[in-house]
Amino acid sequence: MASLRDIRVTLYTAVAAILVLIGFFTLGHGPSLQSLHRPIPSPASSNTVTPAFRPAPSAVAAPVATHSAIPETKKPGEEKLAYVTWLSSTVVGKDSEKLDEDVYFIGTRILIWQLLHYQKTKTHGIDVVVVVTPDVSESRRERLRKDGAIVRPIEFVHGKNDEWLHPKENRWNDIMSKLRVWEMEEYSRILMLDGDMILMHPLDGIFKDPAAQIAPRLHNASNPEDEPDIPDDYLLASIGEVAGADHQYPPDWDHGLKKHGYFCAGFFMLKPSKKIFDYYTGILDIKDRFNPEYMEQNLLNYAHRWDGPMPWKELSYTWNIRSVNDHDLDEGVVSMHEKWWEDPLSKSDRVRGIFKSMRWQMEGYYLARDEFQAQLSYD
């Protein structure tokens, strides 16, 4: 005979499932039943054009069939890896406690849930960290801890001579604080993700991508003499900025990517290094050294330009695409860089339905878990 505790677990799970279904189907934004049962294809490999410093094209495809976080050349436990996202209250204001209306906060919760709890996409043995600026409320921090994330407070980053740093949008005023991730030297490698990410498959295999490995700096190129020193090795691997929803899969520099050699700072792999952090912040004090319109993205693209000593490397475009379309889903894109609360640029009903599905599944999961834990405490 089932115990009272077992009955409660079953009851809360059923309630969560009902809330999920009601939430995204009755809103009219959910996917059709047919699309929910569509088989999920295996991620495809990249066939993008590679710069001279990249591995040969035959080596670019990431071995995504296995989702081990540790490269085959490493022994288990030799590396400490992390997924990290960044949260600031720039968008909604530090005094807003309407957590159910803070779309970036909800997006961060969706990402945490997918990485830690969702069976189809969760990680195995990799830390999930949210770095938060001083203006993120304690209620938000406590909710993220309760969701399972490691919450790491950070200080703002502003240059000593930053009057020339004017972003295109005011909501990016504090975004240079993302550079603090390079100070997290307790980790050997970090995948940095913006909070507006929706996962379709596990990401752990990205740490085995050939481009995601630490490399020596190039000695046939140098930085200007007025810039700080750089370390002997580094890691910056990313994907080119996608121009729009009308792109091939995978996109390349002739079919879908915006500007040759320009990467997106919403999804990149790095090796933490205090020396590189000092290099970045030193650049902030050199007026007009880069275009500040897109703040940290343009700083990083300057620091890791392809003709410099620390050129960024291309990850397989299987891992992440911005402005996702139905063809990307059919081909097996692993993650989507999209704002879940907006219509996708592709206008795809299928993509829109996935956004709503993930949001309501997250809400239902935590509602059931919170209720169960409350009952245990009550008992």
Mean pLDDT of all residues in 1-11: 51
Q: What is the pLDDT of residue 32?
A: 37
Instruction: Please determine, for residue 197, whether its predicted confidence score (pLDDT) is greater than 60.
Output: yes
Q: What is the pLDDT of residue 65?
A: 32
Q: How confident is the model at residue 309 (pLDDT cuts 50, 70, 90)?
A: very high
Please give the model's pTM, rounded to 2 decimal places.
Answer: 0.80
Instruction: Please determine, for residue 212, whether its predicted confidence score (pLDDT) is greater than 60.
Output: yes
Q: What is the pLDDT of residue 28?
A: 43
Mean pLDDT of all residues in 109-127: 97
- In this structure, of 83-87, 156-160, 193-197, 366-370, the range with the lowest mean pLDDT score is 156-160
Of residues 72 and 255, the one with the higher pLDDT is 255
Mean pLDDT of all residues in 177-199: 96
Distance CA 268, CA 227 (A): 23
Q: How confident is the model at residue 91 (pLDDT cuts 50, 70, 90)?
A: low
Mean pLDDT of all residues in 65-69: 34
Give the closest residue to 110 by CA, choosing from 93, 130, 127: 130
Instruction: Please determine, for residue 318, whether its predicted confidence score (pLDDT) is greater than 80.
Output: yes
- In this structure, of 76-80, 91-95, 270-274, 333-337, the range with the lowest mean pLDDT score is 91-95
Q: What is the pLDDT of residue 213?
A: 98
Q: What is the pLDDT of residue 66?
A: 33
Q: What is the pLDDT of residue 48?
A: 36
Q: What is the pLDDT of residue 74?
A: 46
Q: What is the pLDDT of residue 26?
A: 38
Instruction: Please determine, for residue 43, whether its predicted confidence score (pLDDT) is greater than 60.
Output: no
Q: What is the pLDDT of residue 223?
A: 94
User: For residue 377, what are the contacts with CB-CB under 8 A and spacing of at least 6?
Assistant: none
Mean pLDDT of all residues in 168-186: 81
Q: How confident is the model at residue 376 (pLDDT cuts 50, 70, 90)?
A: confident
Q: How confident is the model at residue 167 (pLDDT cuts 50, 70, 90)?
A: low
Q: What is the pLDDT of residue 169?
A: 56
Question: Is domain 31-347 classified as CATH 3.90.550.10?
Answer: yes
Q: Contact, 325 vs 346, CB < 8 A? A: yes
Distance CA 199, CA 327 (A): 16
Mean pLDDT of all residues in 365-372: 92
Q: What is the pLDDT of residue 373?
A: 81
Q: How confident is the model at residue 21 (pLDDT cuts 50, 70, 90)?
A: low
Mean pLDDT of all residues in 247-251: 93
Mean pLDDT of all residues in 104-115: 96
Q: What is the pLDDT of residue 378?
A: 67
Instruction: Please determine, for residue 115, whether its predicted confidence score (pLDDT) is greater than 50.
Output: yes
Angle between helices 4-26 and 349-378 (to 10 degrees): 150
Q: What is the pLDDT of residue 247?
A: 93
Other beta carbons less than 10 A from residue 158's beta carbon: 14
Maximum average pLDDT range among 172-176, 224-228, 286-290: 224-228
Percent of the chain with pLDDT over 90: 63
Instruction: Please determine, for residue 195, whether its predicted confidence score (pLDDT) is greater than 50.
Output: yes
Q: What is the pLDDT of residue 75?
A: 54
